[in-house]
Chains A and B, each alone.
Chain A
Amino acid sequence: MSLEQELKTYDAHHAEAMAAHPEDWMLVSEDEVLGYYPTYAEAIAAGYEKVGIKRRFMVKKVKEEPIVFLRPINPCRI
Chain B
Amino acid sequence: MPHLTARHSADGPVLDIQLAIPRTRTIAMAAAGVPVTPAIEIRALVDTGATITVISTRAFARLGLEGTGTTQIIGAVTANQPVQVQTCDVSLILVHKQSYMRKFDPLPVIIAPLGQSRIDALIGRDVLQSCLFLYDGQAGTCTLAF
Contacts and interface: CB of A to CB of B under 8 A. Distances in A.
A64 B71 contact: yes
Tier of interface size on chain B: 35 or more
A53 B25 contact: yes
Interface residues of A, number: 35
B73 A66 contact: yes
A44 B68 contact: yes
A73 B114 contact: yes
A69 B32 contact: no
B89 A66 contact: no
Contact of B111 (A49, A70, A71, A76): A76
A60 B71 contact: yes
B49 A1 contact: no
A66 B66 CA distance: 22
A59 B68 contact: yes
Interface string A56-69: 11111100111111
Contact of B68 (A49, A58, A65, A76): A58
Contact of A67 (B52, B86, B111, B113): B52
Interface string A10-48: 000000000000000000000000000000110011011
Given A49-B24, A73-B110, 16 more contacts: A40-B106, A40-B108, A44-B24, A44-B89, A45-B24, A52-B31, A60-B71, A61-B71, A68-B73, A69-B75, A70-B76, A71-B49, A73-B122, A74-B112, A75-B73, A76-B86
Interface of B: 22, 24-25, 27-29, 31-32, 34, 47, 49-52, 54, 57, 66-78, 82-86, 89, 106, 108, 110-114, 122
